[in-house]
Amino acid sequence: RSQRKGFGGFGGKNDGPLALGHSLLRRAIGVSGNVICDLDGVVYRGTRAISGAADALRDLQAGGLNLLFCTNNSSRTPSEVAEVIESVTGFRALPSQVLGSAMAAATLLAIDKPLTYVLGGNGIHAALAEVGIKTTESDTDARAVVVGIDMELSYERLRRAAQAAANGARLIATNDDPTYPAEDGFWPGAGSILAAVETASGRRAEVAGKPHRPMRDLIRSHLVEGAVWVVGDRPDTDLALAEAEADWQSILVLTGVVDRPDGVTPAPDLVCDDLAAAAAAILSTR
């Protein structure tokens, strides 16, 4: 069955009738094995592609692997992330290949659909809209608060999020990454913003993104048969994501937050200099 919007409704209008989001379709055309690839610090940093990343992605896809991009960055929609991947690296990714922490956060609210206050970007708004959740700018009306990275953060919006949470609204974080890798260093991440909301409200958030269960459940719904490799640069998210699943294997690349593997916890199954080396290692096992 073709699904123009991809598996679970999180695809894009240009995915076409054979969206890669459909795991049954991928099995039917002989795709087996899975690579869960982080983006920031692995494929690119800011607006610069990491050397060899585009060819590595092409090699993985040409090798018959189910290639998925899993990011804790909640600022963009899957379509926007796919456009960034292509514009920065030249690799044509489909929106249905992108799994973001905003999508994982939306799954936590999809049943009750509470009126929600968003402290974050367009990616969160779009993910909530996909599952029929309405948003509000009122801290008194909000029954849930979703916090993510917010490039236009203001004190007033921070105040509303904290006040809504203090008033009893369900508090959900897309992720709790303290930093965000950019071209010129590490910027404050969603976890830094979340810390302010938690401190001011006296509440602790449910975290949806890597390595937590909502993201793992979302990933699992997109997997095909075969091995699962998680490629990333952050021990506390990417490596921990793989460690939480008994049959997933982790590859640490040294192009992001970690530049040497000494003392990394949890320990990766494999350490590679970059995505190109990781792709070669994965393909050598097939």
Residues 6+ apart with CB under 8 A from 40: 71, 73, 180, 181, 233, 256
Catalytic residue (one of 15, 40, 139, 238): 40
247 is catalytic: no
Pairing of strands 185-188, 179-182: antiparallel
Two tokens at 167?
């008033």
141 is catalytic: no
Two tokens at 31?
């795709």
Measured between alpha carbons, how far is 19 from 14 in angstroms, rounded to an integer? Answer: 9
Judged by DSSP in three states, 165 sits in: helix
Catalytic residue (one of 38, 177, 238, 274): 38
Q: Which helix (H) or strand (E) holds 114?
A: none
Measured between alpha carbons, how far is 60 from 58 in angstroms, rounded to an integer? Answer: 5
Active-site residues, by number, are 38, 40
